[in-house]
Amino acid sequence: MIANQSSGSDAIYQRFLERQRVEGMALAEASDVLSLHIPPMAPPHFVAEFLCKGLIRDSAGEIKEASRFQVGVWFPADYLRRADPFEMVRLFTPGVWHPNVSQDLPLICTGRISPGTPLVDILFQIYDILTYQKYNPREDDSLNRAACSWARENQNLFPTDRRPLKRRSLNLEVTSI
């Protein structure tokens, strides 16, 4: 079970964290683009590494394709009662170019997250953002207005990666003839 010093003896929260670990690791095992790590000294933190095509803006201001993104997800002790995506999700990869990603802070807007939203659902939302399968087209409601304007003008480039986060299972039956 995942230990958490800040949650004390909250058995429900501990079971929730353990379920997130099990389900998150199962998703990573069934994915060609996701690795999930749990830092040994930091539960309830998860670090997701996505090996997918996305976009970054380099120091010269050029928009380029990138293929590796790291995101941290943290479940605060009161997560089953309240959820704040800006408190829970941190982008570790600098320069990600997306309307839902701040250029000044390591913030990513995943959209609405209700208390108790599973880790797997959050990982799917993050993947959809990184690969431009999901983005906010409204500049007045975006974290990066320049990326929002750019995205509207370059919709033909999306999605940047068409692979599913989870491999599709294929059930084949072989019959002899």
Could you read off the pLDDT of 71-126 as tens digits, one per residue? 999 999 999 999 888 889 999 999 999 999 999 999 999 988 999 999 999 999 99
Residue pLDDT, tens place only, 112-129 = 899 999 999 999 999 999
If pLDDT is split at 50, 70 and 90, which confidence band does 8 have? low
Taking 90 as the threshold, does the pLDDT of residue 26 lie above it?
A: yes
Whether residue 50 lies inside any domain: the answer is yes
Whether residue 169 lies inside any domain: the answer is no
Give me the number of domains the chain comprises.
1
Whether residue 35 lies inside any domain: the answer is yes
Which domain, by its residues, includes 12? 5-157
DSSP letters spanning the chain: ----GGGTT-HHHHHHHHHHHHHHHHHHHT-SSEEEE--TT-TTEEEEEE-S-EEEE-TTS-EEEE--EEEEEE--TTTTT---HHHHEEE-STTB--TTB-SSSS-B------TT--HHHHHHHHHHHHTTSS----GGG-S-HHHHHHHHHTGGG--S--S-SSPPP--------
Residue 108, domain CATH: 3.10.110.10
Whether residue 52 lies inside any domain: the answer is yes
Whether residue 162 lies inside any domain: the answer is no
Whether residue 83 lies inside any domain: the answer is yes
Whether residue 167 lies inside any domain: the answer is no
**pTM of the predicted structure, to 2 decimals:** 0.88
Whether residue 164 lies inside any domain: the answer is no
